[in-house]
């Protein structure tokens, strides 16, 4: 992978089967002193050994998570089984970073998350001159989206994402871009026990890792999914708790889902989970939040991969090959818009749901999705992505959440916010 010509930041991107191979590739690309690197290691590899080896060989901060697959811009398809490493080396005083990680307290995950984010930003050697130079001469109306702060989040305690995000949002307020995902294990969910997130030389389970950034470079977050509601296929959540829905329309949840999907029995209905999740509409933007079923329990309750509040109206969703491809394109377009339309893009980082990866394989759209992104941003822009167990991002109306079957993108521009 060759580094594209850059003005404010140099990017190195490597993909391989062992940590020494990917680090050596970065060195060959001219990377010497990265400010930070983003790392996605396949769950089939030794997480701790790989992360430790990379950190020992590479300067700067290291952040990332375990992956069940890759949105692979180098091989231009979805892949499984490798190590992805993206290094960011600023050319001048335009970007600062810090990472922090902490184990999540089972009883007080919100408090734990606040402490991790506090540590990340407290250790960020931010020079206020960055902010002054970035905003100097701008109109007040232009400053609205020109926040210099971004936060990349990696979860490795599956099930606590909503509570962690509540703590994060309470701590940082509205002035920080938030994006990320949950560390993954197996692509087809054969196990969900070996999920990790990384900070420096550590790879940990049951933790939250964050990469705090302060930069005068344009950057933004975009989110999209492939689904649309099926007319007449909806219900009300009459009893739920967290991620478990007990009843829909005052009936056993599994019975209603079986009826909506026109299945013969619960077992057959469970085969429709990937293709027909539930959606809850965001009234302001019209965006459909996807909530994917995970399992039907003996009592007929349905466990989901994200929380569904009691009283919600849900609709059965569907997708097709074209909407699958278009959703990735839309996510990138929204990230570029959020960044302030940089004329030059330095890198794209994808958090692509493991269920999207499965869907791409089923619909045979994987290569077309990568191609769609390259048609939008150019062939030489580095693309790195992980298949995750849930995606963190905010919608068009600014709602931060833990999403299912969604593609979330962080774009870094090679252009200052002053331009």
Give the Cα separation of 389 and 174 in Å (integer): 25
Q: Both tokens of residue 277?
A: 């999740």
Nearest by Cα to 126 from 35, 213, 36: 213
The total of other beta-carbon atoms located within 10 Å of residue 233's CB is: 17
pLDDT of 46: 96
- The region, left, alpha or beta by phi > 0 then psi within -120 to 50, assigned to residue 153 is beta
% of the chain with per-residue pLDDT over 70: 95
Where in 309-367 does DSSP place strands (E)?
A: 313-318, 345-353
Position 1 scores a pLDDT of: 42
- The CA distance from 72 to 79, in Å, is 6
- Give 251's contacts (C-beta < 8 A, 6+ positions apart): none
Residue 100's pLDDT is: 98
pLDDT tens digits, one per residue of 240-296: 999 999 999 999 999 999 999 999 999 999 999 999 999 999 988 899 999 999 999
Model confidence band, residue 2 (pLDDT cutoffs 50, 70, 90): very low
Read off the tokens for 366. Answer: 């994987």
Supply the pLDDT for residue 398: 83
Q: What is the pLDDT of residue 294?
A: 95
Q: State pTM to two decimals.
A: 0.93
Instruction: Judge whether residue 134 has pLDDT over 70.
Output: no
β-strand 197-199 against 202-204: which pairing, if any? antiparallel
Please tell me the predicted confidence (pLDDT) of residue 411: 98
Q: Inter-axis angle of helices 47-57 and 19-28, to 10 degrees?
A: 30
Encode pLDDT of 197-223 as tens digits: 999 999 999 999 999 999 989 999 999
The total number of residues written for the chain in this structure? 419
Give Cα separations from 37 to 4, 60, 163, 342 (angstroms).
17, 7, 27, 22
Q: What pLDDT does 418 receive?
A: 75
Residue 154 clears pLDDT 90, i.e. is over it:
yes
Ranges of beta strands (E only) in 105-183 are: 149-155, 177-182
- Smallest CA-to-CA distance from 145 within 305, 292, 335, 393 is with 335
Distance, CA of 387 to CA of 355 (rounded, Å)? 8
pLDDT digits (tens, 9 = 90+) for 322-356: 999 999 999 999 999 999 999 999 999 999 999 99
């Amino acid at each position: 992978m060759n580094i594209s010509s850059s003005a404010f930041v140099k990017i190195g991107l490597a993909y391989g089967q062992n940590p020494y191979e990917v680090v050596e590739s970065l060195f060959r690309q001219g990377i010497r002193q990265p400010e930070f690197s983003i790392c996605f290691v396949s769950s089939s590899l030794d997480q701790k050994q790989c992360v430790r080896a990379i950190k020992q060989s590479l300067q700067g901060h290291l952040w990332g998570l375990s992956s069940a697959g890759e949105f692979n811009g180098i091989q231009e398809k979805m892949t499984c089984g490798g190590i992805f490493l993206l290094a960011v080396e600023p050319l001048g005083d335009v970007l600062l970073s810090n990472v922090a990680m902490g184990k999540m307290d089972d009883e007080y995950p919100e408090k734990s998350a606040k402490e991790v984010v506090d540590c990340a930003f407290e250790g960020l050697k931010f020079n206020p001159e960055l902010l002054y130079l970035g905003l100097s001469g701008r109109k007040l109306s232009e400053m609205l989206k020109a926040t210099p702060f971004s936060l990349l989040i990696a979860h490795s305690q599956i099930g606590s994402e909503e509570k962690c995000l509540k703590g994060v949002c309470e701590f940082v307020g509205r002035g920080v871009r938030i994006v990320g995902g949950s560390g993954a294990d197996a692509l087809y969910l054969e196990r969900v026990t070996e999920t990790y997130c990384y900070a420096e030389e550590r790879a940990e389970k049951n933790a939250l890792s964050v990469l705090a950034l302060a930069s005068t470079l344009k950057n933004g977050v975009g989110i999209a999914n492939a689904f649309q509601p099926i007319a007449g296929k909806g219900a009300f959540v009459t009893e739920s708790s967290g991620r478990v829905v007990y009843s829909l329309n005052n009936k056993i949840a599994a019975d209603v889902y079986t009826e909506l999907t026109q299945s013969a029995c619960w077992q057959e209905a469970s085969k429709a989970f990937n293709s027909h999740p539930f959606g809850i509409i965001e009234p302001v933007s019209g965006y459909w939040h996807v909530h994917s079923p995970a399992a039907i329990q003996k009592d007929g309750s349905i466990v989901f991969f994200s929380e569904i509040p009691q009283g919600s109206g849900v609709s059965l969703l569907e997708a097709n090959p074209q909407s699958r491809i278009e959703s990735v394109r839309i996510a990138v377009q929204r990230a570029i818009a959020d960044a302030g339309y940089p004329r030059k893009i330095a890198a794209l980082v994808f958090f692509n749901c493991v269920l999207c990866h499965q869907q791409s394989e089923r619909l045979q759209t994987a290569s077309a999705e990568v191609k769609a992104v390259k048609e939008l941003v150019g062939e030489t822009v580095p693309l790195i992505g992980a298949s995750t167990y849930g995606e963190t991002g905010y919608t068009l109306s600014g709602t931060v959440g833990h999403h299912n079957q969604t593609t979330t993108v962080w774009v870094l521009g090679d252009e200052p916010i002053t331009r």
